[in-house]
């Protein structure tokens, strides 16, 4: 009987401890190498905060998303304007990022992923095709019109394509990380530095050495 009471007490204590223990915060960078030489030094996972008494309303407001982006700056015909702690200081530690997405006529955002965030995109203007691929390689795709929204699950490869042949598209997006990260599949694969070995790419994509070089050249790798 006494043993059962002790076991019950231990179980209750464990339950209380599990209830108050929180998980590690989401990382805001790709990696954080442990400093084993100077273990007492500290590098913040984000930006330090000002004294709360010095905060004013403009710290929580930005007009950065009101300005159209330059879609001719890259070969794909898109521009993404992100909020960050420079243009919106109040967003620090809030675990979110907002973005304006401009896509030129027949432009597209090629397959990419955000390793640290899910994304919801709301189309304001135009007519676009969006989609993502899950881990079983199933494609989920949808045509969006102004006012439509679409969710891209965290870490999954996705794309946006302006199928309107006469006008550009504009969308806004929200991501649940202060630093969601973005990795274009094609650039990560064929334009990495140092390069992925040719034999790996040839076998992975079932192409020849000349094809690998041609794709690398086209992508600036």
Residue 51 CA to residue 89 CA, distance in Å, equals 13
Tokens 């400093």 -> residue = 35
- Residue 16's pLDDT is 56
**Per-residue pLDDT tens for 127-153?**
999 999 999 999 999 999 999 999 999
Gyration radius of the chain over CA positions: 23
Residues 70, 81: contact at Cβ < 8 Å?
no
The segment(s) of the chain belonging to CATH 2.60.120.10 are: 58-182
Tell me the per-residue pLDDT of 156-207, one tens digit each, with 9 for 90 and over: 999 999 999 999 999 999 999 999 999 999 999 999 999 999 999 999 999 9
Q: How far apart are CA 114 and CA 181, in angstroms?
A: 5
pLDDT band at 23 (very low <50, low <70, confident <90, very high): low
How far the first Cα of the chain sits from its last, in Å, is: 72
What is the fold of 58-182?
Answer: Jelly Rolls (2.60.120)
Task: Please state the separation of Cα 149 from the chain's center in Å.
Answer: 17
Residue with tokens 């304007």: 81
Angle of helix 198-205 versus helix 209-219 axis, rounded to 10 = 100
Average pLDDT over residues 55-68: 96
* pLDDT above 90 coverage of the chain, percent: 74
Quote the pLDDT of residue 17: 52
Give the confidence band of 43 by pLDDT, cuts at 50, 70, 90.
low
Q: Is the pLDDT reported for residue 6 higher than 80?
A: no
pLDDT of residue 48: 87
The predicted pLDDT at position 221 comes to 74
């Amino acid at each position: 009987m006494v043993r059962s009471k002790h076991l019950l007490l231990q179980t209750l204590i464990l339950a209380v401890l599990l209830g108050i223990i929180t998980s590690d915060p989401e990382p805001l960078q790709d990696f954080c190498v442990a400093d084993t030489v100077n273990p007492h030094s500290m590098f913040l996972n984000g930006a330090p905060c000002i004294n709360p008494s010095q905060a004013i309303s403009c710290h929580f407001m930005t007009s950065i998303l009101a300005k159209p982006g330059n879609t001719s700056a890259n070969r794909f015909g898109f521009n993404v304007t992100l909020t960050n702690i420079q243009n919106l200081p109040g967003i620090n530690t809030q675990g979110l990022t907002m973005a304006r997405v401009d896509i030129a006529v027949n432009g597209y955002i090629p397959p990419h992923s955000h390793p640290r965030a899910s994304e919801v995109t709301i189309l304001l203007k135009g007519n676009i095709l969006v989609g993502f691929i899950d881990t079983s390689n199933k494609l989920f795709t949808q045509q969006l019109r102004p006012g439509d929204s679409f969710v891209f699950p965290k870490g999954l490869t996705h794309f946006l394509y302006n199928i309107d042949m006469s006008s550009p598209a504009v969308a806004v997006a929200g991501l649940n990380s202060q630093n969601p990260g973005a990795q274009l599949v094609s650039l990560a694969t064929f334009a990495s530095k140092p390069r992925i070995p040719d034999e790996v790419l040839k076998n992975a994509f079932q192409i020849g050495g000349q094809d690998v070089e041609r794709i690398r050249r086209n992508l600036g790798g």
